[in-house]
Amino acid sequence: MRNRKTRSFIVAAALAAGFLGQSAAAADKITYQLDWLPGGDKSPVYVGVQKGFFEDEGLDVSISVGRGSTDAITRIATGQSDVGSADIAALMAAKAQDATVPVKAVYSIFNQAPHAFFALGKSGIKTLTDIEGKKVATSPFTSSNAFLPLVLKENGLPEDAVNLTKADPGALGPMLVNGGADAIIAWVTNVPLFESQAEATGNTLVVIPWSSAGLELYSASVVASERFLSERPDVARRFLKAFDRSLRYTRDNPAEAAAALKAMVPEVDEVVVEKQVGATMPLVFNSVSERDGLGALTESRVALTWDWVAQAEGLSKDRLDPETVIDRSLLEALE
Amino acid sequence: MSLTLPEGRLRRVLLGASPWLFFVALIAVWEVGCRLFSVPAYILPAPSVILNAFFDVEFSRWMQHLWATLRVALLGFLISIAVSIPIAIAMMRSEWLSRTLYPLLVVIQSTPVVAVAPLIIVIMGSDDPSRILITCLLTFFPLVVSTATGINETPPELIELSRSLDAPTRRETWQIRMPYAIPHIFSGLRVAITLAIIGAVVAEFVAAEEGLGYFIQFSTSFFRIPQAFAGLFFLAVVSLLLFKSVQWAQQLLFPWSLPRKGA
């Protein structure tokens, strides 16, 4: 009897030791917050998971789907997620309203504005100034809306130069195709989606990116909670290293990126995703990234971004020192 | 030509088949209309296109989304029942409680859940509990109102009789008032079960990684309108089945509470 007890104790102890040993070697868990639904432009983090880049760094990354930059920032601020993607403009606007928002931008993904006008070839809209007097449809809550008056002004048009209507994002493409709008406002990452709709009706698609019309700023960025950065700095560094690797891999292997996304989100259309990756990469890899380095958040461009955001949000420029939004420690560790 | 049906067996067969016939006719008109006017799939997909889209999604994936939505809707529904029937009984017993709680219930009911949902997610996190709470907020009011109405429906003579016979309040509630309340409670349950599905879908629109509402929203974001419609139809079928299940439950448990046929 006693013998059996001793034996079971030994077994229990061995099991416990096994568990302890395992937990010591287990990967560090991270929750990555997307700022929107999965799509080609969000594929790098899926690549990191599927290709084992995070695993190589001893990380176990789970991905949480979000509904807009503000939603993503809120969830990272409240600790539901550790790190994620969000528009740096939304973070600046949030910090200008409430400086205590415990989130920092650590890496730029898009160093160009993704906003653009889309029109059909037959509409005669070719350059940004052609938009004057046209009926333009946009979605109600997109960050693009705040920048619209500035882009118009930058191109010598009055703020009310267009006749603006708002509709659900899903309705914009059909509106453009069936003549409900002369042009629509959307991200260039969606070019493949609108292109297929235009082609289905025998039309061509004209894209006028706002970045080429003077809107120079950082956009989608990797943002992290201050707690994550201060309490698990080493995990954060390893995460960014793997993310940087995933981003480069996505550029070189768009088809594999699409397959990685499809593997985790079976509802996506792999062909469209691959095209989306192609439409997204110029926002990441371009003359700016060649000059400053991938992911860089330079002081001058951060200041420029805040200039635009302050104007767009109608905030006075001294409401925020844009440098307080940035944490470059992870970027420096990458080099 | 009048719309009255012939008498006898034929009438019964026609009556039973008419919802199906109407449904089939509707689908046929839809299909023909889409083909005739070559409506593009991203505006209004034809039923055949939707059917194809439905089978393009793996069965296990459908079940995964279904389970996510059903879990939230049913748990929310059950919690609502557990909360609202006692509240209604308590309110019936105490006028003070009724006066205190009623305005609050009306305020909760008239607050658009869609507006509150993001706040609930921020406060409670983006997991099942917040989605269940959102579902409860939508479902519990019709249940409280229908239960309270039913309890008050009891003829006052019966109440007087039971009191004159010194019946304890418990017996008055369960043996006299509740039987009168059952038909009302079930009409409340039928409203609530469809609202539970709506609640789960609203919650999924705000924060979710899976579920039929999420699936529809996600498909729309990819402009896969036929796939979104397939999700919508699946959701409608599930709603119908749940609605029917409440009816079946009533037939099984309280057959006497159903209105008599032909009455």
The domain A115-213: what is its CATH number? 3.40.190.10
Q: Which two tokens stand for residue B215?
A: 């699936």
Homologous superfamily (CATH) for A25-112+217-334: Periplasmic binding protein-like II (3.40.190.10)
pLDDT attached to residue B263: 42
Same fold, A25-112+217-334 and A115-213: yes
Distance from CA of B121 to the nearest CA of A (A): 9
Read out DSSP for A117-137?
A: EEEEGGGT--SGGGGTT-EEE
A32, A33, A34, A37: best to mutate for the B interface, most B CBs within 10 A: A37
Contacts of A294 (CB under 8 A, 6+ apart): A244, A247, A248, A284, A285
Residues of B in contact with A268 (CB under 8 A): 222
Q: Number of Cβ pairs closer than 8 Å across A and B?
A: 63
Closest CA to A110 of A295, A334, A251, A236: A295
Mean pLDDT of A180-202: 89
Domain borders along chain B are 64-257
Domain extent listing, chain A: 25-112+217-334, 115-213
Q: How many Cα neighbours within 13 Å face the side chain of B10?
A: 4
Return the amino acid letter for B149: T
Alpha carbon distance A149, A312 (integer Å)? 8
**pLDDT value for B261:** 57
Query: What's the whole-number mean pLDDT along residues A283-296?
Result: 96
Range of lowest pLDDT (A56-65, A158-167, A238-247): A158-167
A 10 A CB-CB count for A7 gives: 10
**Taking Cα atoms as reference points, which of A107, A329, A328 lies closest to residue A219?**
A107
CA distances from B33 to A102, B37, B226 (A): 55, 6, 16
Asked whether the predicted pLDDT for residue A281 surpasses 90, the reply is yes
| Beta carbons of A170 and B221 less than 8 Å apart | yes
Please indicate whether, in this complex, the C-beta atoms of B126 and A75 are within 8 angstroms of each other. Answer: yes
Higher pLDDT, A276 or B169: A276
Tell me B174's DSSP state: I
Q: Report pLDDT for B234.
A: 96
Q: Which chain B residue lies closest to A270 (C-alpha atoms)?
A: B222
Of A65, A78, A200, the CB nearest to B40: A200
> What pLDDT, in 10s, does the model give residues B96-152?
998 998 899 899 889 898 889 888 988 888 889 999 999 999 999 999 999 999 988
Nearest to A188 by CA among A84, A318, A40, A309: A40
Give the dihedral of Cα atoms A163, A167, A171, A177; nearest 10 deg.
0
Tell me if A74 and B122 make a contact (CB, 8 A cut-off): yes
Q: Which residues of A touch B (CB under 8 A)?
A: 36-39, 64-65, 67, 71, 74-75, 78, 80, 168-170, 173-174, 177-178, 193, 196-197, 200-201, 266-269, 272
Long-range pairs for A251-257: beta carbons < 8 A, 24 or more residues apart = A251/A281, A251/A284, A251/A285, A253/A47, A254/A278, A254/A281, A256/A47, A256/A51, A257/A40, A257/A43, A257/A44, A257/A46, A257/A47
For residues A197 and A33, which has the higher predicted lDDT (pLDDT)?
A33
How many Cβ atoms are within 10 Å of A17's Cβ, its own excluded? 10
**Structure pTM?**
0.84
Residues 6+ apart with CB under 8 A from A306: A92, A317, A320, A322
**CATH number for the segment(s) B64-257:** 1.10.3720.10
CB-CB under 8 Å, A78 with B122: yes
pLDDT(A169) > 90: no
pLDDT of A20 over the 80 cut: no
Nearest chain A CA: its distance from B34 CA (Å):
15
